[in-house]
Structure 1
Amino acid sequence: MPANDLASLAALIADPTRAAFCLALLDGRAWTGGELARLAGVAPSTASEHLSKLVAGGLLTEERQGKHRYVRLADPATAQLLEDLAAHVRPDRAARPSSLRASGATKAMARARTCYDHLAGRLGVLVTDALIRKGLLRQDTGFSITPAGLDWFGRLGIDLVGLRSRTRPLARSCLDWTERRPHLAGTAGAALCAHALDHGWVTRVGGQRALRVTDTGLADLSSLLDIAPAALGDTSAGAETIRA
């Protein structure tokens, strides 16, 4: 890759507004330009200019429905790039929350969140550790689902064999930028996150990436993965004040 191309890619994320857009889109959903403008505190026209640059640079894709322009991250590889970059930010260099509300949002994100389409934060790491502890996931040569793991996912109604993709690994280690430890990504991670949302283990908080573990989630994670409810207790409280 020519140096100029790498510099151009880095420049796309170097702007704080564009970086804020990319981090918001790590929730895996499509956002309108207006929603992102409000999130970043910029004018819609300014947001539109930034989004056009991100789309042209290949980091975002867009689709239009009527008058609305929706954008999302281009693919899982883009999400991985952004999460990996976030994990390289030194804790002592990270900006401190400017208000009580911002502090609450930061803590909620650290407790439980989505990382594009898989579970992250302390919740994601606890689930990953439990999968390894129970012999459902191996990490000796990179993450891989064991035969027992395939059976376990199957009992949840998730056919990982049928979900195999040529373009995405079944299981991948993703460095968690708050826990500084790996959580499960890849096809298996995405399927487990979708299951958690669909079956009410977790709910989204304030329309953003933060998640709240429900009573159902506490019970099922304890039953299925031997995760003590006390270990997940603060992921189920204190985040309701966050707003988009």
Structure 2
Amino acid sequence: MLKLFKIEVRKYRGLPVLRLLVASMVISLLFASMQIFDPKTVADLANQVKLYQVWDAVALVKIIIQPVILASLVSLAVQLENRHKMWKVLTSSGEDYKSIYTVKFCYIFGVYSVMQILEILAITGLIKMRGYTASIPIGRVVLYCLSILAISGVIMLIHYILSLKWSNQLISLSLAVLASLVSIIMIFISKTVMYVIPYTWYSFLMASQPQSKGDGFVYHILDFDYYPLIASLVLALVLYQAGKHVKIGD
């Protein structure tokens, strides 16, 4: 397994994996920064709702771009083997498909996870730099980060399986684009339907909820929703095991 992992690392030299992840991080930081630097007064910086809205902005941008980014990452990973029929070469040389499947997913998800953690740390740094006096319990921030990783893991597994099943990577990428559009629409239409669409689960991490009052809105902080974290862990386990039995597409 270690030998396969070392080989996997070398395969990605020259591929735009890092550029994709950096682009995703930059977009998230831009959305977050618009919220971070929006407060104009000391009272705003002490307002906990303003701080939660920073993380809500990050969750929103995940719905918009994350499916395409994740689908692109796994597409690149699978194409490495598809180009020269390397799946057959590897298995005929004595390597087990399940081991290759595991190493490939663990590597690409690991790289993504590192970048996601760096993104969270960068946003936290910007918040500190702006001088917010409000704070969010560290436990909630950790759960928020773990939930993003878990949801992204599910989406990555969905597209990993699609990329393995069909060699035409446009199938997986097209579904990712469609899923992003549907997810945005579902936020405004039906929360019930959102429970069964993993692509929308990032929205459950949005904590500030507006409530109409007079001529304006009053924002309330919702309790942390554990559903996306628990559902993602369960579904990820199911998908991961199912992927081990996928017949590689031609």
TM-score category, normalised to shorter length: under 0.3
- TM-score norm. by structure 2 comes to 0.26
- TM-score norm. by structure 1 comes to 0.26
Larger Rg: 2
Q: Which has the higher strand share?
A: 1
